[in-house]
């Protein structure tokens, strides 16, 4: 294969990245279809939200089953090797699995829903700060770049129907979509994080927040 031609396996993450961009970015709008405000201070309601730790456990279990199935398809007849005995996986084209506690720690550090959100929505931008961290400002339909603990990403933001979406497309093909949407019936803010990766599959967690009333003025 010529040196300047990507191997098919290397093209797949790039293809997925392009598909996600075309599907997600093209449907984003500069403004919501009707007047909607997600501005305010919001506190996580654990009872109304998905159990984050359970979601991570389910994802780990799904990954384990996927690797077991792949091993069997490549001729492995025994049980899945333990975390301490995976030296032979290279024979089957697999690298040793990352330790579950390391995965949990990474999910906890980078993906665990914030306890408090403060959102300021203006005519031109949406500013979001989580748990008192410096706010991140998003301008609809304006692409920016960012490097975080997951790597380098291209970020697109905008309104999709009545929800505000932030799409992060990482250079390795992984994509994160955050959707902020107000539930008119309950008044709760629903924040959905959807992750898609070609090798790791899909993962989703929904968190619901209650608007905090303004503190009474001092007398």
Q: Which among 127, 117, 132, 125 is positioned nearest to 212, based on CA atoms? A: 117
Taking 60 as the threshold, does the pLDDT of residue 12 lie above it? no
The model's confidence at residue 80, banded by pLDDT at 50, 70 and 90, is low
Q: Which fold has domain 8-49+113-211?
A: Lipocalin (2.40.128)
Q: Is 60 helix (H, G, I), strand (E, B) or coil?
A: helix
Strands 144-148 and 151-160 turn out to be antiparallel
Contact (CB, 8 A) for 189 and 180: yes
What pLDDT score was predicted for residue 20? 44
Distinct helix (H) and strand (E) counts, the chain: 3, 10
Highest average pLDDT, of 10-14, 20-24, 202-206, comes from 202-206
Tell me the domain boundaries of the chain: 8-49+113-211
The model's confidence at residue 9, banded by pLDDT at 50, 70 and 90, is very low
What do you get for the CA distance between the two ends of the chain, in Å?
A: 77
Contacts of 147 (CB under 8 A, 6+ apart): 153
Q: Which among 150, 112, 157 is positioned nearest to 130, based on CA atoms? A: 112
| pLDDT tens column, 143-166 | 999 998 888 999 999 999 899 999
| pLDDT tens column, 94-111 | 555 677 888 889 889 989
What pLDDT score was predicted for residue 13? 43
The model's confidence at residue 81, banded by pLDDT at 50, 70 and 90, is low
The model's confidence at residue 45, banded by pLDDT at 50, 70 and 90, is very high
């Amino acid at each position: 294969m010529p040196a300047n031609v990507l191997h098919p396996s290397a093209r797949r993450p790039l293809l997925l990245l392009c598909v996600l961009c075309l599907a997600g970015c093209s449907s984003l709008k500069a403004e919501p279809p009707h007047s909607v405000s997600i501005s305010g201070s919001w506190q996580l309601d654990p009872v109304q939200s998905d159990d984050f730790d359970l979601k991570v456990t389910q994802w780990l279990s799904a990954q384990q089953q996927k690797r077991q199935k792949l091993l069997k398809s490549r001729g492995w007849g025994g049980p899945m090797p333990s975390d301490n005995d995976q030296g032979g996986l290279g024979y089957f084209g697999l690298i040793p699995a990352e330790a579950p506690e390391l995965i949990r720690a990474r999910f906890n550090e980078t993906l665990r829903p914030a306890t408090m959100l403060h959102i300021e929505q203006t005519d031109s931008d949406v500013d979001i700060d989580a748990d008192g961290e410096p706010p991140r400002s998003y301008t609809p339909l304006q692409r920016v770049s960012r490097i975080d603990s997951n790597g380098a990403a291209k970020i697109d933001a905008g309104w999709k129907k009545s929800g505000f979406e932030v799409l992060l497309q990482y250079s390795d093909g992984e994509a994160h979509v955050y959707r902020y949407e107000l539930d008119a019936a309950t008044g709760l803010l629903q924040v959905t994080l959807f992750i898609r990766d070609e090798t790791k599959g899909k993962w989703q967690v929904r968190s619901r927040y209650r608007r905090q009333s303004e503190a009474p003025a001092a007398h």
